[in-house]
Structure 1
Amino acid sequence: MEDESKTLMVDEKEPMHLVKDCQPEDAFFSEMEMDHAMEGDKGEGSDAIFSREAPLVCKGHIRGTSIGRSRASELMEESEVRKKDKNKQEKKLSRQDRIELGRMFQGAVSSQDLKLAEDLILVADPQTLNDMLCIALDSIWFLTTRQELSGITGLIKKIVENGANDFTRAALRTSFLASCVSACQSRTMSLSDTVGIMAQRLHERLQECHGDEVLKAEASVKVQKFTEWALKCIGIHSRCQENKGRRNHSTILELQLQLSAFRTFLDLAGNSLTGKDFTEAFDAACFPLTLFSSSFDSGWASGISATVIQGLLGMLVEGGADNVNQCFLEASRFGSTELVRILLQIAQRNSLDVDVDLALGFASHYCKIGTMECLVEEGNAGAFLGPLMRAAERGCMQVVQWFVERGCRDMELCLALTAAASCCHVGIAAYLLPHIPQHVLAALSIEILKAAGERSSGSLDGVAFLLRIDFLSDPAATYAVADSIARSSDEAVSPDLRAFLKEHWSEAAFTEGLKYGENHFVNCVRILRRGSSPICLRDLPPPLVTAIAYLPLYRECQRAAGGCLLPQKLRGQLLEAASRVGGRPVDRNSQARELLTILEDHLPTFFL
């Protein structure tokens, strides 16, 4: 009978096809090879496990085991013939026979037909035995009884005894699958949305990585294929359990059986698995959980659904996995709070060092507030300065507020204020100022302005903002600080900052403003007395004459007086104007609001 097969294509709009297109009775076989791709930089990345996978093929109507037994008998007879013919060299199975044998083995394992499974092991060639090892090992995450445990561990032992030796591939593949099984037991996750979620997370992750776009696209396809395989496997076993009247959520006893089976596999592998293998398997288990990010229920890490992944990761660490910190940083970066919580527990149980402060920096950079709270409350992260300053530089108000509410030292707040001013994030600067004691600001005022000017990227708007809002809450003190820097010969002062302050905020600028105002008044008087305009300006009402002379200055000062203080040069002009229109000298220390009020009293109301 000619077999009919079809390749399951991926439609992102209908991810449920991964489950629907295969009935639980269908035998399922997928050949996989793992690739190990390095990601990340500066120690923050983690290894990602991708796959090259043959199309997922479903055979039609291989129900029960009658056809399977018949074909198995044929293969066994062929094997016996080859063994008896000593003149013929033992040959490998054809690809078609290997796929069919694997499919029958998968069906036998799923239906708990251990006799057929053992018979199939006897006719498998070395490559097929390694495939069978993967299939048998994958099934351990769906064990529910001690009888099933005994049966599947017996099969694994028999497969190894007959020559299977690719323990690395089996360990990586089953670690990834175990992670997906645990994730799908979260109440907020379902098979119907998992593919879409992981694809979106992976796309976001790859966008942040530097590298060739073609390679990133290939990596995305590989991971998505691997995920589809894992979810298809979960879907088939879930349907089998439903048909047997079993629930899909495992009990603690069932999870212990599953971990016991994995321990048996590790014992069989022995020294065949190296520290590198355990490290890559650890990454394979963490990778999908990282992509799921914050899609888990709150508290998932302490619930029964996470028991398997906790036990699995613990055994991998015992075996020699040394990338706990890398995976911890990656999970923090992507806001996978529950995985961060699990890795913290594993690190504590195994006396491993994880860099909670660096992790806090990653989480804050990507605004993962929930992860930040976990790192501080459960990981005791306390290095706030770096993340706070970077958040101020980026203008991330949510993160800045979080750190301030958690409690920052005065010096940390001053440095964050400097960072915000240097990058012209005036909203952040305005938020931070009230949280800094005035005596601290007064003591560090010169250094704050100097540092903000030095670190600025061409714009001094942040420095101007601090001066305009009178950041020292004392106009005389604020002007004095600006004048001091303008007159300073300190080489540490940025030339641009010195020139800016000298031109607009120094005492010299104020004097220049007064002089400019005097010249302007003289010019206005000359026009009134000697002007040859047909309009006799002296005959106009005084408010209109004042408007002609000083309305542009009034408008400019209104725009510049968004804060409390005017630049000294502009204040000098306004002071001179107020003295002239008021007909009396005005105190040199008068500020914008008082001076503008004097002008307003002499301007037509329709201009105000």
Structure 2
Amino acid sequence: MEKSETFRPVQKLTTQESNEWGNLFQRAVSFYDWKLSESLILLAGPQALNDALCITLDSVWFLSTQEESNAIMGLIEKIVANGAHDFGSAVVRTSFMASCVQAFHGRTTSTIACAVTEMAQGLRDFVLECDGHVLFEGEPIAKEIHEFIEWMGPGFNFSGHQGNRDRANYNLQADEIQLQLSALKTFLDLAGNQLTSKDFSMAFYAACLPLYLSSTSFDLGCTSGNWETTAIPGLFGMLVKGGVESGLFNYSLVLASSFGNTEIVRIILKAAQTNNLNVDVDRAFNFACLYSRFGTMECLVEEGNNVDFRTPLLGAAKSGCKPVVEWFVKMGCRDTELCIALVAATSSNQADVVAYLLHQLPDDLLAQRSFNILKAVGRVGGVNSLKGVAFLLGSDFLGDPATTYTVADTFAGSGDDDDANPELRAFLQEHWSERAFSDGIRQGQEHYMNIVRVLKWGESPICLAILPPELRVAIAYLPLYRECVNAAGSRLVSQRLRGQLVEAVRRLGGGVLDGVNQCRELLAVLERRLPQFTS
């Protein structure tokens, strides 16, 4: 950079002059031209001084020698002495900068514009995955993060910085990191009580954002012996000690868990432990489960001492997220918790999860709690719960058709039980009770008589009586056959359908197969009488 000129102080700069001043000051600091930087301070108004404070503090993350550190801190002191006072914005922006340097260091992405573009893409990907979920009521994740990134963007740059250009592909050494953290600590001491807990909270939040949204995984150094000697853990530690509010601290943990950034989760947990902060691990764990962040889930269990499996397990079962349910089973969930998950999956008609859980639960426990399982599903109510119960019964969840039918019939007749949902009870009475079986027989008889009437007295130009027997059977019973084959659960059909099947097979000369264990035999007889092209 050319040797600086001497500028004559003026009272006020025009808009164009202010823009030129900002660009010139940015370049002067980036190229460590301290003489020019100091002379430019004399031209700055109140807002420009605050901008200068932010720009100078940002350069902390590119220094590599004690001489550079002393020069930067000396310039900051002069800026403050000339009237800069917005320490809050400075610490928030520099925290964001520190994480950007960490997330994008040594990459072809060297400008904040490129960094924000990449973060925006990460945000869009996450929004698609969120599918409308919110962290706080009425406050979508995407909107909040997007607004914050937009606020950070103007006037914020780490391209063209001499330190960045000289060491673009160079990994910072421990002594350099210590210099940078020490410089930040000096600034925090200089600001003193002018920094509020809100400032520290927003700075902590700002430091987390680039790490959430960077597309590249990186080692933040939280597993090293002295975790606060590395850049991000050290920054987090200072901010937490400064007074991060518990609400935003936990919100950051929830976001890190939602994005599945296990390294940040680990740092936040360590910061909480070091500073004796209360941390809502359960809520973070719920969101990690919601988005199937298995590595983060394991971290929260092992390092966050999370033991509340019930709530996220129920959420996974209810939403049909089978991989998460499988993870809980591998982690050793109790059978009682799996029973509750079975209720949640059944009430939401999540067939895959129901089928999986039935294979995990002991038969004797299912038999013991069968009535209570139906009762619990009944409390939920709704159309999906009826479909779920149909699948549960159709799966022969007790492993014995007679027992499964008996439990369904008993529940259907429990009219005095106020806890049982009346819709579920009515559904079971209509389809799965002994009365439903009798109704099925009667409906089968009526159907047969209607077919006979059509054959003998029908006036249709198409004379059904002269059709081949297989076609007559298809016309009469193909709808029943398909309904039975497509029945939910596939192992058992409802009592109503079973009654119709028994009557159909009897009328077709297949004998009397009315045993509860003979559903497959009934279908086999009917299938043999149908034309092959209909099977």
After TM superposition, the structure 1 = structure 2 runs for residues 94-493 of structure 1, keeping only pairs within 5 Å, are 94-122=14-42, 124-185=44-105, 194-203=115-124, 204=126, 220=146, 223-224=149-150, 226-227=152-153, 229-230=155-156, 233-237=157-161, 240-242=163-165, 244=166, 247-292=169-214, 295-297=216-218, 301-302=222-223, 307-322=230-245, 323-459=248-384, 460-489=386-415, 490-493=417-420
After TM superposition, the structure 1 = structure 2 runs for residues 570-585 of structure 1, keeping only pairs within 5 Å, are 570-582=497-509, 584-585=511-512
Number of residue-to-residue matches in the alignment:
521
Check 1:186–1:373 CA distance in 2 against 1; reply closer, same or farther (3 A cut).
Answer: farther
Shift of 1:552: 4.6
1:510 is aligned to 437
Q: What RMSD over aligned residues (CA atoms) do the two structures have, in Å?
A: 3.5
Shift of 1:288: 2.6
Q: Percentage identity across aligned positions? A: 51
Check 1:580–1:129 CA distance in 2 against 1; reply closer, same or farther (3 A cut).
Answer: closer
Shift of 1:346: 0.9
Further displaced range: 179-188 or 458-467 = 179-188
Q: Deviations over 1:387-415 (max 9, x none)?
A: 11112221222222222222211122112
Where structure 1 has 5 or more consecutive residues not aligned to the other structure, the ranges are: 1-62, 79-90
Where structure 2 has 5 or more consecutive residues not aligned to the other structure, the ranges are: none
Contact 1:187 1:296 in 2 (8 A): no
SS in 2 for 1:339: helix
Further displaced range: 475-484 or 557-566 = 557-566
Check 1:317–1:590 CA distance in 2 against 1; reply closer, same or farther (3 A cut).
Answer: closer
TM-score normalised according to structure 1 size: 0.76
Check 1:262–1:503 CA distance in 2 against 1; reply closer, same or farther (3 A cut).
Answer: same
Q: Deviations over 1:172-213 (max 9, x none)?
A: 221111121111138797769633321123445597568799
**d(CA) in 2 for partners of 1:338, 1:522:** 73
SS in 1 for 2:276: coil
SS in 2 for 1:560: coil
Q: Deviations over 1:98-153 (max 9, x none)?
A: 54444444333333333443444455554443333222211111110111112212
TM-score normalised according to structure 2 size: 0.85
Further displaced range: 454-463 or 555-564 = 555-564
**d(CA) in 2 for partners of 1:124, 1:101:** 8
**d(CA) in 1 for partners of 2:275, 2:147:** 36
**d(CA) in 2 for partners of 1:262, 1:603:** 83
SS in 1 for 2:158: helix
Check 1:467–1:308 CA distance in 2 against 1; reply closer, same or farther (3 A cut).
Answer: same
The residue type paired with residue 262 of structure 2 is T
**d(CA) in 2 for partners of 1:511, 1:580:** 16
SS in 2 for 1:413: helix
Check 1:514–1:138 CA distance in 2 against 1; reply closer, same or farther (3 A cut).
Answer: same
Contact 1:186 1:296 in 2 (8 A): no
The residue type paired with residue 189 of structure 2 is D
Q: Deviations over 1:470-525 (max 9, x none)?
A: 01111011001110111112121112111111111101111222233344555666
